[in-house]
Amino acid sequence: MAPTTRYSLVSLPVRIFDDEPLSELTSTIGQDNGDILEFSIPSFKIGTLDALVQHADDLTKLNAICEAVVSKVADSLAGILDGDEDKISQQKMVNDKPTDSYICSFQWNKVRYRAEKPLGELIENLQKDIQNIDNDVKAKFNQYNAVKTNLSALQRKQTGNLATKSLTPIVQPDVLIQDSEYLETHLIVVPLSARKDFLRSYETIAEMVVPRSALQIAQDDEFILFAVTTFKKTSADFLHKCREHKWTPRQYKYVEGGKEEEQRELERMVREEKKVWGEALHMGRSGWSESVMVWAHVLTLRVFVETVLRYGLPLEFVCALVKTTPKQAKKVKTALDKAYSYLGGNAFGRDKRGRFTKDDASLASEMAAAGYSAGDANEYTAYVYYEFEFP
């Protein structure tokens, strides 16, 4: 299995760079720690400070929703493809590109999400889209699971043991008393080990059992199926006593043509399962493409809004995508903290050994100015930084 890819989006003000920003950022991070690519972000309508703070909060929540939906779609694909990683990866395409290629060459969809629209409207549209994707994928996979369950139940009837399988192809009508006013036939499944005990005692466990009426109809590796005749008025007591002895009564009524009808129903359900499986796979592929696409747009808006809140106007910044691994991502973050912690002002500094530290009082002030709550302290950095990865 290929190592997991961890992505990071980093936004920094252009004013801090002496040379070409992307080149300096590459030097800071180190080429051995990951690939650094330019990440294009359009110029959106900025709006008021209060609105930006609200947008930042909405986007944080929406990001969590997108991550959850992408994860659910991945689980659905894994389930329908029996965990086959090669087949799963073939379905994880975004706009007909491998997911990694899509992210590394991301371009804002200006047709679907027009950049000149207010940020609030864009966020609302993205919320609707991710919810629709979630609903559609969930509905189709629920349908598939229901069909699969029904098919499994029918197949168990064909292939199970005598205690569970369909009796239609086993019991012939001539072994059943069907039109008598006083007598009826019961089908009893008895464990192989209890055969002698059954034959010795079935006539006496209840009143009015027809003597020597037990007829062996079928046998498998675990059970024997007997037909026993009793008077109708004592049938309930006979069946109750059978259960006490751990002999299993089977409900069965002969229907002419029932064997052929069961086979037709099984064949119909096999065709239905195959059809819905294909529809679910198509929905999973489409759901992956759409949910990843929406998530990428949400991440883009998060970077933009946070950049405005953090660095102010005029808006001159560079955004980079860092492609690395979970292990190397720690080194990337350490290098960025070391180089750009001063952007946090008094909130960030160094101890006597030069290690990066946070000043809680100053940090609270900086976070409030950027629209963060005190509970976000562990996630707050001196610069705009978001990590993400795909399941």
Reported confidence tier of residue 75, pLDDT bands at 50, 70, 90: very high
Quote the pLDDT of residue 375: 44
Range with lowest mean pLDDT among 47-61, 83-97, 166-180: 166-180
15 alpha-carbon distance from chain centroid: 43
Q: Which residues are bridge partners to 189 per DSSP?
A: 225, 248
Q: Distances in Å between the alpha carbon of 89 and those of 101, 285, 289, 387?
A: 13, 10, 12, 22
Separation CA 51–CA 95 (nearest Å): 32
**Is pLDDT at 356 greater than 60 in this prediction?**
no
123 alpha-carbon distance from chain centroid: 24
3-state secondary structure of 357: strand
Q: Helices 119-159 and 49-80, interaxial angle, to 10°?
A: 20
One-letter amino acid identity for 124?
E
**If you average pLDDT over residues 161-167, what whole number do you get?**
90
DSSP 18: S
Angle at 187 between CA 186 and CA 189, to 5 degrees: 140
Average pLDDT of the chain to the nearest whole number? 90
375 alpha-carbon distance from chain centroid: 28
pLDDT: which is higher, 366 or 68: 68
End-to-end Cα spacing for the chain? 13
**If you average pLDDT over residues 81-109, what whole number do you get?**
96
Quote the pLDDT of residue 365: 53
Q: Look at the block and give the residue holding tokens 């027809």.
A: 210
Residues 139-152: pLDDT tens digits?
A: 999 999 999 999 99
Quote the pLDDT of residue 11: 96
Q: Give start and end residues of each alpha helix (H) in 117-203.
A: 119-159, 195-201
37 alpha-carbon distance from chain centroid: 30
Quote the pLDDT of residue 201: 96
- Is residue 389 within 8 A of residue 8, CB to CB? The reply is no
Q: Distances in Å between the alpha carbon of 131 and those of 109, 135, 288, 384?
A: 19, 6, 13, 27
Q: Distances in Å between the alpha carbon of 378 and those of 65, 303, 309, 358?
A: 20, 18, 18, 10
Q: Distances in Å between the alpha carbon of 80 and those of 41, 90, 96, 139?
A: 36, 13, 20, 14
**If you average pLDDT over residues 211-234, what whole number do you get?**
96
Separation CA 205–CA 239 (nearest Å): 10
**Is pLDDT at 265 greater than 60 in this prediction?**
yes
Question: Token pair for residue 309?
Answer: 């809140």
| pTM check: above 0.85 | no
Residues 173-221: pLDDT tens digits?
A: 889 998 899 999 999 999 999 999 999 999 999 999 999 999 999 999 9
**Is pLDDT at 306 greater than 80 in this prediction?**
yes
Quote the pLDDT of residue 357: 53
CA atoms within 13 A on the CB side of 68: 11
Range with lowest mean pLDDT among 97-101, 174-178, 255-259, 272-276: 255-259
CA atoms within 13 A on the CB side of 242: 26
One-letter amino acid identity for 344?
G
Max Cα–Cα distance, the chain, nearest Å: 105
Residues 2-17: pLDDT tens digits?
A: 678 999 999 999 999 9
- Is residue 170 within 8 A of residue 217, CB to CB? The reply is yes
Quote the pLDDT of residue 19: 86
- Is residue 333 within 8 A of residue 140, CB to CB? The reply is no
Quote the pLDDT of residue 378: 46
Quote the pLDDT of residue 209: 96
Reported confidence tier of residue 257, pLDDT bands at 50, 70, 90: confident
Quote the pLDDT of residue 2: 64
Question: Token pair for residue 65?
Answer: 């929703």
pLDDT: which is higher, 350 or 117: 117
Q: Look at the block and give the residue holding tokens 């002969």.
A: 254
**Is pLDDT at 348 greater than 80 in this prediction?**
no
pLDDT: which is higher, 40 or 364: 40
Q: Helices 326-340 and 21-29, interaxial angle, to 10°?
A: 120
**If you average pLDDT over residues 250-279, what whole number do you get?**
89
Separation CA 279–CA 32 (nearest Å): 43
**If you average pLDDT over residues 156-173, what whole number do you get?**
88
**Is pLDDT at 163 greater than 80 in this prediction?**
yes
